[in-house]
Amino acid sequence: MQAVQSPIIPIVAGLIRQNPGTISLGQGVVSYPPPDTAFEQISQFFAQPENHKYQAVTGIPLLKEAIAHKLVSFNHITLDSDRAIVVTAGSNMAFNNVVLGITNPGDEIILPTPYYFNHEMAIAMASCKAVLVPTDANYQLDLDAISGAITPKTRAIVTISPNNPTGAVYPQSSLEQVNQICRDNQIYHISDEAYEYFTYDGVKHFSPGSIPDSSRHTISLYSLSKAYGFASWRIGYMVIPQHLVDPINKIQDTILICPPVISQYAALGALQTGISYCQEKLTEIAIARQIVLAQLKSLGDICTIPQADGAFYFLLKVNTSIPDLELVEKLIKDYRVAVLPGNTFGVRNGCYLRVAYGALSPTTAREGIERLVKGLTILLSVAPNC
């Protein structure tokens, strides 16, 4: 455990608490609550006394039926005897379960960088190795680099689209090629789709699980945390090959026994409302995104802003020799604005900052990004550039 990196969000949260009035452009959450239908379903939980006892390890049937309907209608994933749905306590748990279920100590999992830090941490906790593969200047997949990183110890390739921390959305053609690479090498394609509804400017999300004949090597991860304001309710789910049900069942029964049933009822209500709930909220997030993007462009030569058509992040490359965590601390203490350092996402060849705007109203977005622009402009005008 000493070799596993410490999660950065609690560290930055501590700095925010020490500096009251700080606007956070750090943690990736939304500002809105779950839909009313989520709360209405909780009464159905209390109506059944048996619900206070342990329930099915992989999720209650009612919720799995609602998930199946959503997977078919939105993700175009065919559910047959080769696939199974497993409800988890968030998609972080789903990823951790998968890593434990498909690896032996010393095995390798390929992560395109920048990576989501909890993925890298889960791999290390399983005594496996994260093999880091760079992406291009716009954080798009380098398929040749991915193919070249495969060894006899490789067990999976991970993709996150829309991406955390970059906001990049991978085109269908790239995801299809990754999936084919996995098929050809008899390894798994782990597709993290937590931000599936968060795309902009006409860009579409694609689920690799919808590729024909992909069921035996494709693992798809989903979350209610973002789209339905469910962060603390801890409900996610995954679609796995049927042959992984037994190991995943062992892992989940040991760690969790069953996902919290009251949260599963709330999740059922949220899914009954459907994607329209998120789409209504997405309008305001898109406005905040445009405000943030317009202000960031005023930084000119100070930083590079790669294209980001999804999630609610921008990952800035800042032209400075100041270490990114040091820059984060200065921005919080001197300018009352918080962002996350890029090194926690595996980018260490320079100074990078992740800017999150999902939790911001247009007014707060404007104030927060103005503080960030002011802070970077002043701090970098007196600091040496790379």
pLDDT in tens, 52-109: 999 999 999 999 999 999 999 999 999 999 999 999 999 999 999 999 999 999 999 9
In one-letter notation, the amino acid at residue 24 is S
pLDDT of amino acid 202? 94
Confidence of residue 386 (pLDDT cuts 50, 70, 90): very low
Least confident of 8-17, 83-92, 205-214, 324-333: 8-17
What is the percent of the chain with per-residue pLDDT over 70, rounded to a whole number?
99
Instruction: Answer yes or no: is pLDDT of 206 > 60.
Output: yes
**Does pLDDT of 383 surpass 70?**
no
For 118-177, the pLDDT digits (tens) are 999 999 999 999 999 999 999 999 999 999 999 999 999 999 999 999 999 999 999 999
d(CA 286, CA 337) in angstroms, rounded, equals 21
Mean pLDDT across the stretch 361-366? 90
Residue 40, CA distances (Å) to 37, 45, 63, 269, 309 in order: 5, 10, 15, 7, 34
Amino acid at 93: M
Q: Which residues, at least 6 apart from 296, have a Cβ–Cβ distance to it below 8 Å?
A: 303, 305, 314, 316, 355, 369, 373
Per-residue pLDDT of 228-240, as tens digits, reads 999 999 999 999 9
pLDDT above 60 for 384? no
DSSP track, 226-240: TTTT-GGG--EEEEE
Domains of the chain, start order: 8-28+276-381 (3.90.1150.10), 36-273 (3.40.640.10)
Residue 382 confidence (pLDDT): 60
Interatomic CA distance for residues 105 and 128, integer angstroms? 5
Residues constituting the chain: 386
Q: How far is CA 194 from CA 129, 145, 205, 299, 324, in A?
A: 23, 25, 11, 30, 26
Mean pLDDT of the chain: 95
Residue 385, pLDDT > 70, answer no
Q: How many Cα neighbours within 13 Å face the side chain of 81?
A: 0
